[in-house]
A and B are shown apart, each in its own frame.
Chain A
Amino acid sequence: MTVWSLVARRILLSLIVLLLVSLVTFVLMHAVPGDPIDAIIGDRQAGQPEIRERYEALFGLDEPASVQYLYYLKNISQGNLGISIVSGEPVATELKRALPATFELAFTAMTLALLAGIPLGVLAAVRKDGWQDLAARWLAVGSASMPVFWMALLASYVFAYQLRWLPRTGRLDVGMEEPERVTGFVSIDALISGDLDVFTSFVRHIILPAVVLAVFSLGLITRMVRSSLLTALSDDYVRTARAKGLPERTVVLQHALRNAMIPTITVIGLTFSGLLTGAAIVETIFSWPGLGQLAVRMALNFDYPGMLGATLAIAIIYVVVSTLVDLTYLLLDPRIHFG
């Protein structure tokens, strides 16, 4: 199977996955007690049926659930995710605003986690049972087992409150104007517009949340690299490479690590998807204006179109990342075929 046929098949499968996700989300939303109209009309209006009816009609909630779902599918096929019941804004607009912030945070955190996690895992494997291995394992277990909310509170207390090295909340300094929107990514837009003050402010603000998320992901990556590399180092091809007299660095980094990365890539992919979609707590603690924060707001207010939009966005992220992971397998090991 060629790369393109793999991608085509994935797109086809992802459509089925997204359909199922939307259906399950829709059913669950309607099964949970609570009413989105209650969230927007106050106590006094709650007893006036004509007002409730008017808003149910406006948001299409007056139709039977099955009809609502069919309307929803029709709208999605036209690129319309609906209007948020709470904010009154198109859901697509809200997602478009939140997603770049989450991507910036997840990408920075993943980069930091990889930069630290892979070397640590390699070091732990090549120095198996040495003090470096022990230290790396302690670090890995410690970082993965510490609750992320606790780490976030601790980091903000130490580095923002006590030492005052880094800002406590937000994506930019208070009152700082965002650069002209080109990509939606503040970091990239700041560089495009040549506004280094904004870029520096952005970097200072992203450090704490990104490091907290990175530390949380670091443990998983370190442990995966270590165990995969240990398995690879005991394989015949490594012995052969050494027997041929290849430098040990080449043997480890080019032969063993490359193979050890195949299972690790799966973990990295899942971790990255998790960072993109599950950073709600960190985004809340650091007031980072991303998808997690938006999804929580939508869920708490029974914002049906918003919740469906956010769930679909999350599902698409998982589908895209898992496709990229599969493609990476092909790059790492050309022998791999998806039949």
Chain B
Amino acid sequence: MTLPQQEFQNQGSSKVSRLLSRRMFGQSTLVLAGISALWRGRGGVTAAPEQQTRMLQSTQIDASTLVIADSLSSQWRTLDPAFFYESSPSSAMYLIYDTLYHAPDGEHPTEIQPLLALDMPEFSDDGLTATIRLRNDVAFHNTGNRLTASDVIFSWNRLKHVGLSGSFLATQYWTAVDALDDFTLQLTLPRPNADLAAVLVAPMLSITDKAAVEALGGTDSEPSTEEDSPELQANLAAKEAIDRASVGSGPFHIAKWDINSDVILERSSDAWAGTPMLDQVIYRNTLDVNAQLQSVQIGEADVAMGVNAFSLADLGDDVKIISGRTLAIQYLGLNLRPEFGGPTAIREVRQAIACAIDYQGIIDGILLGHAVRPATVLPLTLDGSEAALPLAFSTDLDRAQKLWDESGVGNATIQLDYASDAFGRGGVSFQTLAAKLQADLERIEGLTLKLAPMPNSQRNARYRSGEFQISVAGWVPDFPGVDAYATPFFHSEGSAAGRVGLSIPELDDLVVRAAAEQDQETRIELYVEIQRRAIEESCYIVLYQPNDIKVSRPEVEGLQVHPVYQLQLRTTHKTG
């Protein structure tokens, strides 16, 4: 039964609803039609193949332009060498700036060649002085100023006095740099260093145009003790300008700097080393790694930077996979200090842990085979790393249990610190890695591994202060030389050694001798001996050395994954 009033309302409602449905949905249709018109304006709205092609034309990239999808806003900070320290923008640094030496071949990163230098360094008899002759035909791309020894000294002093992450390169490897003339440098070394040319490959030691940097307010003066550090303030302001101006001598210069959208490098027509094959290299800010991959697949980008092994399974023939060995390592740091490490301060415990880990399981199961395992923290490719492979611990549960029992620890709980908000080398989830390590290590009767996920900043702080038992840590090289690892990890004054509490005078002596040794065979023998001692100590257990994987459009040629530059783009070009 319907009451008269209700009947009235319902009739009214249906009349109104007819009106509304026409009016309101008419509006919605108009909106959709507008959107469609916009699509059509760019080439059509249906999915017909020929129309799709027309639509795609708007996003297709010129053959002389290379577009790289990368997480700029999270991984890039600056392209000013004095402030630079991130690995991701290294490929851009190598395009904009020149260093005295470079490692052009990503497959053989230890083959160092002169770039701004005329030849390899000449060492004095005692090895404490290195003389480097510079090319005299190099000009900076923005000003045309001739590059001289004063530019080199200015660049390195600025790096040193800014005092940020990369400054150790300008403080630890020489005590003085002098210009013998406009094109000859003399470096006074604190100790002989056969790796000096490799050190000078580091992008932080790129050479900037002194006059241009000073014009932008930059300075190489030592910071005063005043509270507001005017020199630092000046260099911070100059950094902002350098990111937009570029003050190098490389084949490209910066045309646009906006890490929230694009960083655009343009070819310098008068580059001293010859004209590059590409006109432009555009780094496109693409935070989501899936978006990076999809951008390459749909032709919005030529190269995706953030690719992990699991993404490769779904890729078709429309893209190219480029893989190469890195010099990065993922390792466990085990604390040797009894007050913090507890059981890990006992050598047999550390060795038991090293024997219980299923290394191949980690490489095959978590990295899908895209990694190798060096014997110690010296990555494969570097001097002495291959020769030390037979010394490495292999998975041996019986030996692990025996060592554990010999340690006399009985039942013990050991805490594993790892980052819960970051990914490991090779795109590995630390949570997955930690779970695997827990499963492996708890096969030792008596050992309980307590997982301690925490923000990476907190893990870093605990690790750096040496207040941990075991920490999952990583290392990437600043330059492609063995001393980028040997001193920090094995010398008692090294940063990593300080964290785990490693201090063995004989090992210090071996590290210094190996770094100074010019004879290759003797040098390798020394590094093998260093690694033998390190394996005995087992305060670093290397889990893997990942491969670096990138995905590109098929028409991209000459692209190479590089352990230092990330990508070697100086020889890259496109075929269409």
Q: Taking beta carbons and an 8 Å cutoff, which residues of A are in contact with B?
A: 33-35, 38-47, 51, 54-55, 57-58, 83, 86-89, 97-98, 101, 112, 115-116, 118-120, 122-123, 126-128, 130, 132, 153, 156-157, 160-161, 163-175, 200-201, 203-204, 207, 233, 239, 242, 248-249, 251-253, 284-287, 289, 293-294, 297, 300, 302
**B312-340 CB contact bits vs A (8 Å, 1 = yes)?**
00000000000000000000000000000
Contact yes or no, B488 A122, CB < 8 A: no
CA distance A57 to B226 in the complex (A): 9
Which A residues are in CB contact (< 8 Å) with B262? 170, 174-175
Q: When chains A and B are docked, how far (Å) is the Cα of A87 from the Cα of B240? A: 9
Distance between A161 CB and nearest chain B CB, rounded to angstroms: 5
Q: Are A34 and B59 in contact, CB atoms less than 8 angstroms apart?
A: no
Verify if B471 is at the interface (C-beta below 8 Å from A).
no
- Residue positions of B touching A, CB distance < 8 A: 5, 8-9, 12-17, 19-21, 23-25, 27-28, 31, 35, 38-39, 41-42, 45, 47, 52, 55-56, 58-59, 61, 65, 67, 69, 73-74, 77-78, 83, 85, 163-168, 223, 227-229, 232-233, 236, 239-240, 258-262, 264, 280, 282, 284-288, 290-291, 294-295, 297-298, 300-301, 421, 454-455, 457-458, 460-461, 464, 475, 488, 495-496, 498
**Is B12 a contact of A242 with CB atoms below 8 Å?**
yes
Whether the pair A300, B240 counts as a contact (CB closer than 8 A) is no
- Is B295 a contact partner of A289 (Cβ separation < 8 A)? no
18 A-B pairs within 8 Å (CB atoms) are namely: A33-B455, A34-B457, A34-B458, A38-B461, A44-B495, A45-B165, A47-B495, A54-B229, A88-B77, A97-B260, A132-B17, A160-B294, A161-B294, A165-B55, A169-B285, A174-B300, A204-B38, A248-B16
Chain B residue with Cβ nearest A201: B58
Known: A45-B167, A119-B20, A174-B67. A88 touches B239 (CB 8 A): yes
Which residues from chain A contact B301 at a C-beta distance below 8 Å? Answer: 174
Which residue of chain A has its CB nearest to the CB of B12?
A248
Across the A-B interface, how many residue pairs have beta carbons closer than 8 Å?
A: 223
Known contacts A164-B52, A300-B421, A83 near B17 by CB under 8 Å: no
A156 cross-chain contacts in B, Cβ below 8 A: 291, 294
Query: In angstroms, how far is the closest chain A Cβ from the Cβ of B70?
Result: 10
Residues of chain A within 8 A of B285, CB atoms compared: 169-170, 287, 289
| Chain A proximity of B359: nearest CB distance (Å) | 24
How far apart sit A131 and B59, CA to CA, in the bound complex (Å)? 42
Assuming the A-B contacts A126-B17, A168-B295, A171-B261, are A88 and B236 also in contact, with contact meaning beta carbons closer than 8 angstroms in the complex? Answer: yes
Docked-complex contact B168 and A45, CB < 8 angstroms: yes
Is A285 in contact with B288, judged by CB distance below 8 angstroms? yes
| Cross-chain contact B229 with A164 (CB below 8 angstroms) | no
Query: When the two chains form their complex, are residues B291 and A44 in contact, meaning their CB atoms are under 8 A apart?
Result: no
Contact, CB under 8 Å: B17 / A127: yes
Q: Judge whether A168 and B17 touch: CB under 8 Å.
A: no
| Bound CA–CA A207/B41 (angstroms) | 14
**CB of A260, distance to nearest CB on chain B (Å):** 14
CB distance from B416 to the nearest CB of A (A): 18
A57 touches which one: B227, B421, B455 (CB < 8 A)?
B227
Taken together as a complex, chains A and B put the C-alpha atoms of A218 and B47 apart, in Å, by: 27
Give the Cβ gap from B310 to chain A, nearest Cβ, in Å. 16
A126 to B27, CA, bound (A): 18
**A167-B261 Cα distance, complex, nearest whole Å:** 14
Chain B residue nearest to A34 in the complex (CB): B457
**B39 adjacent to A165 (CB under 8 Å):** yes
Q: Is the CB of B294 within 8 A of A249?
A: no
Are B16 and A249 interface neighbours, CB within 8 A? yes
User: Do A47 and B464 contact each other (CB < 8 Å), given the known contacts A156-B291, A175-B280?
Assistant: yes
Q: A173 to B31, Cβ gap below 8 A?
A: no
Q: Whole-angstrom distance between the alpha carbons of A204 and B43 in the complex?
A: 12
Measured between alpha carbons, how far is A242 from B6 in the docked complex, in Å? 12
| A97 CB, nearest partner CB in chain B, Å | 7
- Which residue of chain B has the shortest Cβ distance to A196 in the bound complex? B41
Whether A46 and B464, one on each chain, are in contact in the complex, defined by CB atoms closer than 8 angstroms, is yes
Q: Are A46 and B495 in contact (CB under 8 A)?
A: yes
* A101 surroundings in chain B (CB, below 8 A): 260
| Residues in chain A near residue B291, CB distance under 8 A | 156, 168-169, 285-287
Partner of B498, one of A47, A118, A128, A293: A47
CB distance from A156 to the nearest CB of B (A): 7
On whether the beta carbons of B240 and A126 are closer than 8 Å, the reply is: no
10 nearest A-B pairs in the assembled complex, by CB-CB distance: A119-B24, A42-B165, A289-B260, A34-B457, A248-B16, A248-B12, A33-B458, A126-B17, A44-B168, A127-B17
Give Cα A166–Cα B295 distance, bound, in whole angstroms.
Answer: 12
Quick one: closest A residue to B58, CB to CB? A173
Q: A45-B165, A174-B301 are in contact. Are A127 and B13 (CB under 8 A)?
A: yes
How close is B422's CB to chain A, nearest CB, in angstroms? 9
Contact A44/B59 with A34-B461, A38-B457, A164-B52 known, Cβ cut-off 8 Å: no
* Cβ contact within 8 Å between A153 and B290: yes
For residue B5, which residues in chain A have a CB less than 8 angstroms away from its CB? 239
14 new A-B contacts, CB < 8 A, other than A42-B164, A57-B229, A287-B284, are: A33-B457, A38-B457, A38-B460, A41-B165, A57-B227, A97-B258, A126-B17, A161-B298, A168-B300, A170-B284, A174-B59, A175-B264, A286-B291, A287-B287
